[in-house]
Structure 1
Amino acid sequence: MRTIDLLNGRLKLRHLVLVAAIADHGSVVRAAEHLHLAQPAATRSLREVERILGVELFTRGPRGMAPTVFGEAFSAHARSVLAELRRAGERIEGLADARVGTVTVGTLLAGSNVLLPRAIAALKRDRPGVRVVIREATFDVQVPRLLEGEIDLILGRLNPIEDLPGLRQITLYGEPVRLVARRGHPAETASTLADLLAHPWVLPLEQTSLRRELEQVFHAAGLPLPADVVECTSILTVRTLLRDTDMIAALPELVARTDENLAPLPVPLEHVRRQVGVTLPAQRPLTPSAHLMLDHLRRAAAEIIPPPAATAPAPATPA
Structure 2
Amino acid sequence: MKRRYLEQKLKVRTLRAIDAIATHGSLLGAAKALNVAQPTLTRSLQELEETFGFRIFDRHARGVRLTPAGEVVWNSTRRILAEIRRLDGDLDRFLSGTAGSVAIGTLPVAAEGAVPRIMADARSRHPDLQIRLVQGRTEELLPLLAAGDIELVVGRLYGPDAPDGFRRETHYQEPISFVARADHPIFRLEAVTVADLARYKLVLPTLSQRLGREIEHILAEIGLSGQARLRSGSTGLTRDLVHHSDSLAILPSTLMSEDFERGTMRIVPFPVPSGQRDAGVIYRGEVPLSPAAEIVLAIIRETIGRIAGPGGAATRGTERFGTAAGEL
Decide: shared fold, TM above 0.5: yes
Instruction: Report the 3-state secondary structure (helix = DSSP H, G, I; strand = E; otherwise coil) of the residue aligned with 1:110.
Output: helix
Residue 305, structure 1, aligned to residue 305, structure 2: no
Residue 135, structure 1, aligned to residue 134, structure 2: yes
Q: Which runs of 5+ in 2 are unaligned?
A: 312-328
Aligned residues: 305
Letter in structure 2 aligned against 1:103 = V
Residues 183 and 202 of structure 1: is their aligned pair in 2 closer, same or farther, counting only changes over 3 Å? Answer: farther
Residues 27 and 187 of structure 1: is their aligned pair in 2 closer, same or farther, counting only changes over 3 Å? Answer: farther
After TM superposition, the score normalised by the length of structure 1 is 0.76
Q: Tell me how far 1:269 sits from its aligned partner.
A: 1.6
Q: Which structure has greater helix proportion?
A: 2
Q: Tell me how far 1:181 sits from its aligned partner.
A: 6.9
Q: Tell me how far 1:166 sits from its aligned partner.
A: 1.2
- Residue 170 of structure 2 is matched in structure 1 by 171
Distance 1:118 1:271 in 2: 25
Q: Give the alignment's Cα RMSD to 1 decimal.
A: 4.0
Instruction: Report the 3-state secondary structure (helix = DSSP H, G, I; strand = E; otherwise coil) of the residue aligned with 2:76.
Output: helix
Residue 20, structure 1, aligned to residue 40, structure 2: no
- Residue 124 of structure 1 is matched in structure 2 by 123
Residue 52, structure 1, aligned to residue 55, structure 2: no
**CA deviation vs aligned residue, 1:92-113 (integer Å, no higher than 9, x gap):** 4445555141111110133323
Q: 1:199–1:246: 8 Å Cα contact kept in structure 2?
A: no
**Worse-superposed segment, 104-113 or 281-290:** 104-113
Distance 1:16 1:247 in 2: 54
Q: 1:170–1:278: 8 Å Cα contact kept in structure 2?
A: yes
Q: 2:202–2:249: 8 Å Cα contact kept in structure 1?
A: no
**CA deviation vs aligned residue, 1:54-88 (integer Å, no higher than 9, x gap):** 32223343433232333333222211221122223
1:139-288 to structure 2, matched below 5 A, reads 139-161=138-160, 163-180=162-179, 191-192=193-194, 195=198, 201-203=204-206, 205=208, 208=210, 210=211, 213-214=214-215, 217-218=218-219, 220-221=221-222, 232=233, 235=235, 250-258=250-258, 267-288=270-291
Letter in structure 1 aligned against 2:205 = V
Instruction: Report the 3-state secondary structure (helix = DSSP H, G, I; strand = E; otherwise coil) of the residue aligned with 2:112.
Output: coil
Instruction: Report the 3-state secondary structure (helix = DSSP H, G, I; strand = E; otherwise coil) of the residue aligned with 2:251.
Output: strand
Q: Tell me how far 1:34 sits from its aligned partner.
A: 1.4
Instruction: Report the 3-state secondary structure (helix = DSSP H, G, I; strand = E; otherwise coil) of the residue aligned with 2:109.
Output: coil
Residues 162 and 8 of structure 1: is their aligned pair in 2 closer, same or farther, counting only changes over 3 Å? Answer: closer
Q: 1:79–1:148: 8 Å Cα contact kept in structure 2?
A: yes
Letter in structure 2 aligned against 1:63 = R
Residues 45 and 268 of structure 1: is their aligned pair in 2 closer, same or farther, counting only changes over 3 Å? Answer: same
**CA deviation vs aligned residue, 1:242-300 (integer Å, no higher than 9, x gap):** 78999875422232344598775565322433433111211211111111111222232
Instruction: Report the 3-state secondary structure (helix = DSSP H, G, I; strand = E; otherwise coil) of the residue aligned with 2:111.
Output: coil
Q: Tell me how far 1:24 sits from its aligned partner.
A: 0.8
**CA deviation vs aligned residue, 1:188-230 (integer Å, no higher than 9, x gap):** 9983289389867424656x4x467546535644776989896
Q: Tell me how far 1:20 sits from its aligned partner.
A: 0.9
Letter in structure 1 aligned against 2:279 = V
Distance 1:89 1:254 in 2: 36
1:294 corresponds to which of 260, 273, 297: 297
Residues 87 and 57 of structure 1: is their aligned pair in 2 closer, same or farther, counting only changes over 3 Å? Answer: same
Residues 186 and 59 of structure 1: is their aligned pair in 2 closer, same or farther, counting only changes over 3 Å? Answer: farther
Q: Tell me how far 1:89 sits from its aligned partner.
A: 3.1
Letter in structure 2 aligned against 1:45 = S
Q: Tell me how far 1:237 sits from its aligned partner.
A: 6.9
Q: Which runs of 5+ in 1 are unaligned?
A: 309-319
Distance 2:156 2:138 in 1: 9
1:26-37 to structure 2, matched below 5 A, reads 26-37=25-36
After TM superposition, the score normalised by the length of structure 2 is 0.74
Residues 240 and 70 of structure 1: is their aligned pair in 2 closer, same or farther, counting only changes over 3 Å? Answer: farther
- Residue 82 of structure 1 is matched in structure 2 by 81
Instruction: Report the 3-state secondary structure (helix = DSSP H, G, I; strand = E; otherwise coil) of the residue aligned with 1:159.
Output: coil
